Structure 1
Amino acid sequence: MLYDVIILGAGTMGLSAGYQLAKKGQKVLMVDSYHPPHVHGSHHGETRIIRYAYGEGEAYVPFALRSKELWKDLEKRINQSILVETGVLNSGLETSPFIQNVWKSGDKYDLQVEKLSSQQLQQRWAGLTVPDNYIGAYEKDGGYLRTDQILNGYATLAASYGAVLAGGQRVQEVQINEGTVEVKTQGTIYQAKKLIVTAGAWGREVLSQLGLQLSITVIRKTFAWLHADESFRESKFPCFSFDTEMGTYYGFPDIDGAGLKIGRHDTGMPIHPDQKSVPFHDGDTEELLGFLSRFMGKGTFRLREGKTCMYSMTPDEDFIIDYHPEHPEVMFALGFSGHGFKFASAVGEALSEMAMEKDTTVDMGPFRLDRF
């Protein structure tokens, strides 16, 4: 069978693209080494933050706002809550480039971002112990996304439109033959007119088979849930991101009694995606507790569970979404650098538009490969 599009990597981006293409009448095959949702990529961990006044740069704001529209649409289609508006608190020195970008992007796009002093932060959220020279940028419309519901929802919808999900099939070889893309897995050869690569940490290796070398580094990351007191419950505390002299940390309130979830966004150990990561250990716990004792020192915390995941980092920590420069029938979305999940709905839309040779709803110019 000749498919219109084969998607390599059926994680969040791949399933989103598969759904969008199948809904538009395309014959779609989604191939994954595992059976999504799974713990081998970057989508596990139950929740992801969504925010719109974007500390990583103004170019992301239209992308984030379009993503929100599509998340709301997905909620209606699967009749489940997937976007919960707890609010998002960004905090750091007023001179922090991240905080400055939050203000700039919020002002430019007329987003509701509230500026709070250190004292105001501690008055509003009792568990905080914020230095006097820190400020807060609180976005009440921000919150979190439920990852498993999203992946399962996309998979179900894509299948309802005829898309095929081939899980548990590791790709061995990818070739371009006279305008047809050929994908070989163990014992099976698939063919399509177009190829989309959303293989996360493995995407660089896939594209190298087609002569494209991408500068993407895969790093080990950790996150954890900690038992916390009532002041950190979802009804009383927001999602958060802190740009500190200790590093950049992010987290979630205690959702449904699961515990306060926290991780460190910067730094990390380079690994190969097939390499078994060093398990979450006491040193990882100490790092997270060090942040909590400094900035949430009025709380009491005890480790419940720690996990590891992978970030696929580009040199500038911005995404790469583009066509193969020599094979326009090949598209890819890679290098999400630890902040991509919130955009997955709009990434899938953009990839579907690219595959069908249409203009993209959101300008992909800032994410093209030629910026390097």
Structure 2
Amino acid sequence: MHYDTIIIGAGSMGMAAGYYLAKEGKTVLLIDANRPPHQKGSHHGETRIIRYAYGEGHAYVPLLLKAKQLWEEVEKESEMELFLQTGVLNIGSETSLFMKEVKTSAEKYQLPLDVYTHETVNSKWKALQLDDGMVAYHEPTSGVLKCEDCIEAYRRLSLSHGAKIVTDSEITDLSIIEGIVNIATKDGHYSGDSLIVSAGAGTNSILHYLDLQLPLYPIRKTFAWYKAQEDVYEAKQFPAFTCETPLGHYYGFPSIDGSGLKLGRHDGVVQKIENKQEVQPFNEEDEKELATFLARYFTEKTNLQVGKTCMYTMTPDEHFIIDRHPQYENVAIAAGFSGHGFKFSSVVGHVLSELIRGKTSSVDISPFTIERFAELKR
């Protein structure tokens, strides 16, 4: 069958794009090497933080506000609970670039933001013990997305609008001849008028068929859940948080539906994943790293329940790639979300659906061009 658009990579961004295109009446095929939502990419682990006063740069805020609107819409249409308004604490030194950007974002876009001293935080949330001089910027309207439920919602809605999804199917050949996209898999051949590549860590393995390699490198990351006092860490009592400290940059979640306190480290030693090698499982060193942070900044006793691994697919500047292929106008690419992309998947999917239809993006994506990287392998 011939499709209007074929999407390679049916994870967070791809599944969202499939929905928005199918909703517009386009014939859509989504192909994935696995079966999303799954445990082999960057979208598992039950939850992701969504923040609007953005420490990674205030240029992201318009995308976040559009993402917020779209998450609300898909939550309503799917009749699934996807967002929990737990609030988010941004913790660190007020002189750090991250914290300055949080404050700048709030001021520039008039976002609600409560400014707390370390004494106020330690009093308000007694599980925390922040250092003298640390500050916290509390975003009361931010919170947590149920990431796997989000993908499932987009999957159901895509199918309801006529999209076709082929899973457990790897690409064996890809070409564009006279503007027509031709794809071969072990299960069959497909053709389409346009193509979206949103394949996460596998993006370059797809793009090599189209004579393009992006500066992407997947890295191993870990996170864990801890058994903790529900009356202290339950989501109605305790916020999600991001915490920039001398020990590193950590993030965490309250206990949701009795799952326990969830904690991970955003920065740290880079462990690159080469040639699709298996990601090493959570180990004693990973546990020690998280335990050191907990002992330093938390007062309540916690016990490790389970630790897991995932991947970040990084770019050199840790900003996204959302663009058309330099040689093919009918190919759109979304990649390199560098460990902070999931919250944007609703808006990125929407933008991809616009790009592939030849429309101007409804939000500014100029910071995310491919051409900002001077040296690309072709």
The two structures have a TM-score, normalised by structure 2, of 0.97
Give 1:275 deviation, angstroms: 1.1
Aligned residue in 1 for 2:376 = none
Aligned residue in 1 for 2:296 = 294
What residue identity is the alignment partner of 1:219?
I
CA separation in 2, counterparts of 1:13 and 1:273? 23
What residue identity is the alignment partner of 2:57?
G
| 1:58–1:101 CA contact under 8 A, matched in 2 | yes
Aligned residue in 1 for 2:321 = 320
CA separation in 2, counterparts of 1:223 and 1:174? 36
Aligned residue in 1 for 2:285 = 283
| 1:122–1:129 CA contact under 8 A, matched in 2 | yes
Aligned residue in 1 for 2:369 = 368
CA separation in 1, counterparts of 2:220 and 2:80? 32
| 2:31–2:165 CA contact under 8 A, matched in 1 | yes
Give 1:67 deviation, angstroms: 0.4
List per-residue Cα deviations over 1:163-214 (Å, max 9, x = no partner): 0000010112211111111111114111111000000000022112211121
Aligned residue in 2 for 1:260 = 261
What residue identity is the alignment partner of 1:69?
Q
List per-residue Cα deviations over 1:251-296 (Å, max 9, x = no partner): 1011111110010001331003621111101111110011111111
> What residue ranges of structure 2 are gaps of 5+ in the alignment?
374-378
Give 1:108 deviation, angstroms: 0.2
Three-state SS of the structure 2 residue aligned to 1:152 is: helix
Aligned residue in 2 for 1:304 = 305
> What residue ranges of structure 1 are gaps of 5+ in the alignment?
none
What residue identity is the alignment partner of 2:102?
V
Give 1:369 deviation, angstroms: 1.3
Three-state SS of the structure 2 residue aligned to 1:26 is: coil
Larger deviation: 133-142 or 204-213? 204-213
Three-state SS of the structure 2 residue aligned to 1:155 is: helix
Give 1:114 deviation, angstroms: 0.9
Aligned residue in 2 for 1:151 = 151
CA separation in 1, counterparts of 2:92 and 2:364? 30
| 2:244–2:250 CA contact under 8 A, matched in 1 | yes
| 1:201–1:273 CA contact under 8 A, matched in 2 | no
CA separation in 2, counterparts of 1:273 and 1:39? 18
Aligned residue in 1 for 2:244 = 243
Residues 287 and 73 of structure 1: CA distance in aligned 2, closer, same or farther (over 3 Å): same
Mapping of residues 160-199 of structure 1, within 5 Å: 160-199=160-199
What residue identity is the alignment partner of 1:95?
T
CA separation in 1, counterparts of 2:234 and 2:291? 18
What residue identity is the alignment partner of 1:82?
L
Q: Does 1:228 align with 2:231?
A: no
Residues 198 and 77 of structure 1: CA distance in aligned 2, closer, same or farther (over 3 Å): same
CA separation in 2, counterparts of 1:215 and 1:130? 38
CA separation in 2, counterparts of 1:196 and 1:209? 14
| 1:218–1:273 CA contact under 8 A, matched in 2 | no
Mapping of residues 1-372 of structure 1, within 5 Å: 1-229=1-229, 230-267=231-268, 268-272=270-274, 274-296=276-298, 298-372=299-373
| 1:222–1:309 CA contact under 8 A, matched in 2 | yes
CA separation in 1, counterparts of 2:8 and 2:86? 34
Query: What's the C-alpha RMSD, in Å, of the aligned pairs?
Result: 0.9
CA separation in 1, counterparts of 2:276 and 2:216? 15
What residue identity is the alignment partner of 2:287?
T
Give 1:348 deviation, angstroms: 0.6
| 1:54–1:105 CA contact under 8 A, matched in 2 | yes
CA separation in 2, counterparts of 1:313 and 1:54? 18
| 2:242–2:251 CA contact under 8 A, matched in 1 | yes
List per-residue Cα deviations over 1:213-233 (Å, max 9, x = no partner): 211110000000001123122
The number of aligned residues is: 371
Give 1:148 deviation, angstroms: 2.1
Using the aligned pairs only, state the percent identity.
47
Three-state SS of the structure 2 residue aligned to 1:242 is: strand
Larger deviation: 274-283 or 86-95? 274-283
List per-residue Cα deviations over 1:112-133 (Å, max 9, x = no partner): 0111101011011001110012
CA separation in 1, counterparts of 2:300 and 2:113? 26
CA separation in 2, counterparts of 1:273 and 1:11? 20
What residue identity is the alignment partner of 2:3?
Y
What residue identity is the alignment partner of 1:350?
V
Give 1:79 deviation, angstroms: 1.0
| 1:3–1:29 CA contact under 8 A, matched in 2 | yes
Three-state SS of the structure 2 residue aligned to 1:190 is: strand
What residue identity is the alignment partner of 2:257?
D
CA separation in 2, counterparts of 1:183 and 1:123? 59
Three-state SS of the structure 1 residue aligned to 2:174 is: strand
| 2:169–2:187 CA contact under 8 A, matched in 1 | no
Runs of 4+ in 1 over 6 A off after TM superposition: none
